[in-house]
Amino acid sequence: MVVSKIDFLRDKFSFSKLQLFSKCPRRAFYRYVARMKEDVSEPLLMGRGTHAGQEYDNLERIEGRRPQQAEVLDVATEAYEGDGGEAVDSFREQHETHLKKFWESGERDKIHPIKGTVEAAFLIEAAVTHDPENEPEKKPVLLEGFVDVVSKSEPGLRTVVDYKTVGRPMSQRDAESSNQLELYRLGGKAKLGKFVSFVKGGKQKPTTKVTQPCATTKARLQRLLTFLSDTINAFRRCLRTGDFPKCAPECFWCSRTACGFYDQCYPEKDKTLPRFISIGKISPPGTVPAPEWRKRKDKKKEAKP
């Protein structure tokens, strides 16, 4: 299948785009349809710095050089500061702990980066339909992603390695159930995938955790394809109708600190709100007769003879 004409909003998807839409369609609308920008957060800056260090390390190793921890730390710190990060000393201190743990555990040396796969893009051509009975012809889709690195473990055996800067380390269960990792395995033509978690300090001390490589299976691929089909069709349906629902404000991912678009959905003052809703008479409890279906029937216990 050759994808010739692509509507980049309707037909091109990344995992980030699909995941964001699956959590909050309205936030996906603000970012991808309205093209609104969110402020760059501290976790994102930390992630960029961390990835810059790993990119440098892997590229150097491909060229036959073995950079020291201090070199990788310097590159990561410079990237963090260059992107506008202000807590430079804190970042450097935490990431130094990450790298030390990563090196000493031997996990860093288990990664053998393949040339051309460091911070590299992949494209998957696919096609979906929302109604196979009435619209059997599937419409083209491009799935785009970027792998952090693909490692050569054994002859012919490739492992996608995904670096995460997180507050809670990715568990083995996370790796085995991750649609993102499954998509990256598919796009990277790799049989295995694993997470490297650079855990930020907070309730726990900063550390580095690495999951065991997990293999693709028919069940994991089936789950991924179901997610892709459902989410792409739902996104396209929202584009057709123009209705991108808001998530409930009590969702754990919905707050002023977690979403830069929160005030677009739930402003403190909204002069237009009376156009959509108004409150009339209120009858408080005690003034409203209970409906028949809510009335309790007291059953008198019959006296035993």
pLDDT band per the 50, 70, 90 thresholds, residue 144: very high
8 A C-beta contact, residue 124 and residue 142:
yes
8 A C-beta contact, residue 162 and residue 184:
yes
Q: What would the pLDDT profile of 147-202 be if each residue is shown by its tens digit?
A: 999 999 777 799 999 999 999 999 999 999 999 999 999 999 999 999 999 999 88
Please name which of 44, 21, 43 lies closest in space to residue 32, comparing C-alpha atoms: 21
Coil, strand or helix: which one is 9?
A: helix
- Measured CA to CA, the distance from residue 287 to residue 243 in angstroms comes to 39
User: Above 70 in pLDDT, residue 304?
Assistant: no
Of residues 8 and 190, the one with the higher pLDDT is 190
pLDDT for 2 equals 45
- Measured CA to CA, the distance from residue 39 to residue 83 in angstroms comes to 12
| Least confidently predicted of 73-77, 230-234, 248-252, 285-289 | 248-252
Other CB atoms within 10 A of residue 38 CB: 12
pLDDT for 1 equals 44
Out of 3.40.50, 3.90.320, 3.40.1130, 3.10.450, which CATH number does the structure's domain 8-241 have? 3.90.320
pLDDT for 5 equals 63
Coil, strand or helix: which one is 46?
A: helix
Q: Which two tokens stand for residue 20?
A: 């964001």
Q: How do the domains of the chain map onto residue ranges?
A: 8-241
pLDDT for 35 equals 94
Q: What would the pLDDT profile of 48-64 be if each residue is shown by its tens digit?
A: 999 999 999 999 999 99
| Least confidently predicted of 32-36, 161-165, 297-301 | 297-301
| Least confidently predicted of 76-85, 142-151, 270-279 | 270-279
8 A C-beta contact, residue 176 and residue 185:
no
Other CB atoms within 10 A of residue 214 CB: 23
- Measured CA to CA, the distance from residue 197 to residue 112 in angstroms comes to 18
